[in-house]
Amino acid sequence: MSDDASDMPRFLPVGLCIQGRKCLVIGGGKVGTRKVGTLLRAGAVVTVVSPAVSGELSTRIEAGEVAWAKGPFRDEHLADAFLVVAATNDQTVNSAVVKAAAERGVLLCDASRAERSEVIFGALLERGDVTVAVFSGGRDPSSSRRTRDRIAELISEDRRS
């Protein structure tokens, strides 16, 4: 795919069951931390691959919620993985994850470049059994979060009425 925004893929919003499935997050920083939280809420079995992790991830690792493969990404990390999220600030590493995932047939989200992704994460709003996901095609995640927050305000207003 090209880097031209007009060539960006269009994504189909779907509900994907990842409960009990092995999912990897490559990168232990701010973005990786957010992706881990989303995957855990959906019931995934999550491993973080990174030389270092955020404080929040460290707490989750110590609690046994998340596994940590401490060190740099290697192709072997993808063995038996259903989904991998490339969430580093190093484009060389993210590119290696993209290539390895394609070779192994592992579903991929490149958090740094939606045009290289097969899956993108929407901004989620969860209220009981109802989930609302807002997507911007991977172009503007902050816009998706702002829209999600506006929807949350509307739902709160409806409940007060």
Please check whether residue 39 is in contact with residue 23, taking contact to mean a CB–CB distance below 8 angstroms.
Answer: yes
Q: How confident is the model over 80-135, as pLDDT tens digits?
A: 999 999 999 999 999 999 999 999 999 999 999 988 999 988 888 888 787 888 88
Chain Cα centroid distance, residue 102: 17
Number of H helices, E strands in the chain: 4, 7
pTM for the predicted model, two decimal places:
0.84
Please write the tens of the pLDDT for every residue from 33-61. Answer: 999 999 999 999 999 999 999 999 999 99
Q: How far apart are CA 63 and CA 70, in angstroms?
A: 16
